[in-house]
Chain A
Amino acid sequence: MKQFSATILLTFRELWAMRITQGIFVVTTIAWLLLTFALNLDVIEGSIAALRIFGFEATPTEAIRDAVTGEPLRDAETGNVLREALSLDQFVLGMNQMVFGASYLFGTLLGLFATMPLVNGFVEQGRIDLMLSKPVSRAKLLTGHIAGVWAIVAMLVTYLVVAIWLVISFKTRLWLPHYLRSIAIIVIMFGVMYSIVLAIGVWMRSTGLGLVTAYGCIFFSGILAAKDQIVPQLTDFTAAIFVGLYHIVPNYIEVISIVAQLGSNESVNSWYPLVSSVVFGATVYGISYVIFLRKDY
């Protein structure tokens, strides 16, 4: 346990010493401070009467139109266009979907970018040999490294999501804790994508290539997400390959819809994109362990 905690401690210290991690904390703090001071809501009887962003009046809803002419109706006294009141629930759900969808992308992509140098440091000549010379198994060393990376990314993501959730909840006085479930999804998907960086890192000591591959998979998952539209256009053979890849490659883009559905407290249509991504991640972590246990450093 002492050795395991030492590996986690080293990973923590390294990540904290890297300016990029501190940068993510600063950017996250700026994001929720902006949200705190820039967003003003006037809530009357469960509806939003006025919405101001940076002091500018926003017009959140559609104008009420004359059923016959289709012209917007105006207030007889002020002459302003009459608008339908925006339900607070509707606003919060929309807001959450947008903000937490962005958090998913921000959390996973920046998490990958921030933690990439860690693998480099971990397998660096002169450092890995010193660690391997200690009376600790390779499996424990790698597990400690992974646990450290996951833990710090979980902290970053929790800070980001909880802070934004608190700001929105305070502003709207509507507390929807189910949204916090997205933290787990973000951390899991980070873990899945990090498995690629790790495997290539321990195998080839090239985390740059690992990061490019992980980002490539994300890009490719966007194409694979359009499976229903693309497959009918393909021949049987290429369609089989395409579908095969759809089931193998992590479904990063499709998981965004799971985050959005969780945020709006809807039941999730399909957990398959998440499940298949987790299976992919587990397999790649397994490969990383096999490589790390056997490799000469």
Chain B
Amino acid sequence: MVSPGSETKIDSSLAIATDALCKVYSGPFGRRKVTALNGLSIQVQQGEIYGLLGPNGAGKTTLLKLLLGIVSPTSGSASLFGKSVSLASARWGVGFLPENHRFPPFLTAMQTLVVYGRLAGLEKMTIHEKAPSLLDQVGLRQWSDARLKEFSKGMMQRLGIAQALMNNPALLFLDEPTDGVDPIGRRQIRDLLVSLKDTGMTIFLNSHLLSEVELVCTRVGILHRGKLVKTGSVDDLTRASGRYQIQIAENQKSELTELFPDLHFANRSDETWIQFEAADASELNLQIDRLRNSGIQILSIVPQVQTLESRFMEIIGDIDDSPGGIPRFEKRTEDVESTDKHSGS
């Protein structure tokens, strides 16, 4: 079900749970406050691939940082597998690929996995067993002894994913994982995510690439101005909202225009498709009966499914255009310091 806004209470069986989470960034001397998250409650089940969408400055990266203990909440609570995110132990079994990560350029790919694997609490032997296969998995096996300063952005991104997978995490956070990766690499990463999902891993994905989220995620949340404005499965979000297109015979176009001046042709090249909205099945049938009774031949009826991108634009547009909404490209008065500066999202 698509449901707006908040989900409720924290449950220890959930991979991620937040309750009324708020984050307000303050400038020097407490002036210039920026609300990055505003009473956010979200729940992610174990084994889900959850995609978080939102325009720049929506608070996506801030949420991710809060969940990983990188920033602390102003109010509210958050937990990973039932453990408060303020505890370092909550991050056992968690992998993370930050946006714009910067691995030390003097390390080799293998040394990077060793250092970050050790920081994740792994034994040396485990690291040396696991690292080669992970580098292989992300296509960097032959670069294992090369210094990172020789790596391209895409290679760094793939190394980042390998690093995030070192501790075989039960929960994986990915912030723009395909950023800077070429189409082939992007496809590989997408396939990797799907294969990881099959292992039962929970994945929390922040991405601007809506098509990518649509292909990979089982559930999606849309964040806007620090609030979860919509959440649901990809199917729920992209399901037809009562829009249909009906194809009629080519030779009946003029007849249709005369009989039904209220109907509109769909924006398609062959102009044999008409488009209309029906609140439910009975209204749809009424429309069909109207056409059939007038001798119009119906060749096909297609319910209109939205892409995630068009749905996303619609939701964000509706909010910004609503009374009290903020026209896009205009700065909020409290946004003296850009949220991007803090959240990077």
Q: Hey, which bits of chain A sit against chain B, CB under 8 A?
A: 2-3, 5-7, 9-10, 13-14, 17, 121, 124-137, 294, 296-297
- A125 touching B102 by the CB < 8 A rule? yes
| Total residue contacts A-B, CB cutoff 8 A | 92
Evaluate contact between A14 and B98: CB separation under 8 angstroms. no
Q: How far is the CA of A3 from the CA of B114 in the complex (A)?
A: 11
Contact A134 B119 (CB under 8 A): yes
B273 interface hit (Cβ, 8 Å): no
Max count, chain A CB within 10 A of own CB: residue among B72, B103, B118 = B118
The verdict on B107 contacting chain A, using a C-beta distance below 8 Å, is: yes
Taking a contact as CB atoms closer than 8 A, the residue among A2, A121, A137, A294 that contacts B104 in the complex is: A121
Shortest beta-carbon distance, B255 to chain A, in Å?
A: 64
In Å, the complex CA distance between A124 and B103 comes to: 10
Interface residues of B in 76-98 (CB under 8 A from A): 88-92, 94, 96, 98
Q: Which of B120-128, B233-241, B263-271 lies at the interface?
A: B120-128
Partner of A129, one of B91, B98, B103: B98
Q: Say yes or no: A130-B91 contact (C-beta < 8 A), given A17-B106, A294-B72.
A: no
Determine if B115 and A10 form an interchain contact, defined as CB atoms under 8 angstroms apart: yes
User: Is A135's CB under 8 angstroms from B88's CB?
Assistant: yes
Q: Does B181 contact A (CB under 8 A)?
A: no
**B160 nearest CB neighbor, chain A only:** A130
CA–CA, A136 and B116, complex, Å: 11
Given A296-B25, A297-B71, A10 contacting B104 (CB threshold 8 A): yes
Q: A2 and B123 in contact (CB under 8 A), knowing A127-B103, A136-B88? A: yes
A14, B104: Cβ atoms under 8 Å?
yes
Contacting pair A13 B89 (CB below 8 A): no
Contact of A2 among B72, B100, B107, B118 (CB under 8 A): B118
A132 touching B102 in the complex, CB below 8 Å, given contacts A7-B119, A13-B107, A296-B25: no
Question: B65 at interface (Cβ–Cβ under 8 A)?
Answer: yes
CB distance from B70 to the nearest CB of A (A): 5
B111 proximal to A (CB < 8 A) = yes
Q: Which of B89, B118, B163 contacts A3 (CB 8 A)?
A: B118
Least CB distance from A123 to B in Å reads 11
Chain A residue with the shortest CB-CB distance to B101:
A126
Q: 6 smallest A-B Cβ distances: which pairs?
A: A17-B106, A6-B118, A126-B102, A296-B71, A133-B96, A135-B91
A-B contact pairs, 6 of them (CB 8 A): A9-B115, A13-B111, A129-B65, A130-B101, A130-B103, A297-B70
Contacts A17-B106, A129-B65, A133-B96 given; indicate if A3 touches B121 (C-beta within 8 A): yes
Q: Chain B residues with Cβ under 8 A from A129's Cβ?
A: 65, 68, 70, 96, 98, 101
Question: Could you say which residues of chain B place their CB within 8 Å of the CB of A296?
Answer: 25, 65, 70-72, 342
| Dominant secondary structure of chain B at its interface with chain A | loop
Assuming the contacts A129-B98, A135-B94, asked whether A2 and B121 have C-beta atoms less than 8 A apart, the reply is yes
Inter-chain CA distance A127–B70, complex, in Å, is 11
Question: Bound complex: CA of A13 vs CA of B106, how far in Å?
Answer: 8
Chain A residues closer than 8 Å to B111, beta-carbon distance: 13
Question: Beyond A133-B70, A134-B116, A135-B88, is A126–B100 a contact (Cβ under 8 Å)?
Answer: yes
Q: Check if B91 sits within 8 Å of A134, measured CB to CB.
A: yes
B111 to chain A, nearest CB (A): 7
The smallest C-beta distance from B314 to any residue of chain A, in angstroms, reads: 33
B69 on interface, CB distance cutoff 8 Å: yes
The answer to whether B100 touches A134 (Cβ under 8 A) is no
The interface residues of chain A lying within 8 Å CB-to-CB of B116 are 6, 130, 134
Asked whether, in the complex, the Cβ of B68 is within 8 Å of the Cβ of A133, the reply is: yes
Determine the chain A residues whose CB is within 8 A of the CB of B103 once the complex forms: 127, 130
Docked CA distance A134–B115 (Å): 11
Kindly state the separation between the CA atoms of A136 and B121 in the bound complex, as whole angstroms.
Answer: 8
Contact B104 A13 (CB under 8 A): yes
Name 6 extra pairs, CB < 8 A, besides A6-B116, A135-B94, A135-B120. A2-B122, A10-B115, A134-B121, A136-B88, A296-B25, A296-B70
Which single residue of chain B is at the shortest CB-CB distance from A2? B118
CA distance A130 to B91 in the complex (A): 12
User: Which B residues touch A3, using CB under 8 A?
Assistant: 118-119, 121
| Residues from chain B with Cβ under 8 Å of A137 in the complex | 88
- In the bound assembly, the distance between CA atoms of A6 and B107 in angstroms comes to 13
Cα of A7 to Cα of B120 in the assembled complex, Å: 11
Q: Which of B38-84 contact A (CB under 8 A)?
A: 65, 68-72
In the bound complex, what is the Cα–Cα distance between A94 and B104 (angstroms)? 45
Residues of B within 8 A of A126 (CB): 98-102
- Nearest CB to that of B93 among chain A residues? A135
Instruction: Using A13-B107, A129-B68, A129-B70 as known contacts, say yes or no to A136 and B119 having CB atoms under 8 A apart.
Output: yes
Of chain B, the residue at the smallest CB distance from A17 is B106
Cβ contact within 8 Å between A133 and B122 = no
Min distance, Cβ B67 to any Cβ of chain A, angstroms: 9
Assembled-state Cα–Cα distance A121/B106 (Å): 12
Q: Which residue of A lies closest to B71 (CB)?
A: A296
A103 to B70, CA, bound (A): 41
- Distance between B268 CB and nearest chain A CB, rounded to angstroms: 46
- CB–CB A127/B101 < 8 A: yes
Given known A-B contacts A13-B107, A17-B106, A296-B25, A132 and B70 have beta carbons under 8 A apart: yes
Taken together as a complex, chains A and B put the C-alpha atoms of A3 and B123 apart, in Å, by 10
Residues of A within 8 A of B115 (CB): 6, 9-10, 13
In the complex, which residue of chain A has the Cβ closest to the Cβ of B69?
Answer: A132
Q: Report the separation of the CA atoms of residues A9 and B69 in the bound assembly, to the nearest whole angstrom.
A: 23
What is the CB-to-nearest-CB distance from B35 to chain A, in angstroms, rounded to a whole number? 14
Kindly list chain B residues whose C-beta atoms are within 8 Å of the C-beta of A134: 91, 116, 119-121
Q: In the complex, what distance in Å separates the CA atom of A13 from the CA atom of B91?
A: 26
Assembly CA distance A128 to B103 (angstroms): 10
Query: Would B121 and A135 count as touching, CB distance under 8 A?
Result: yes
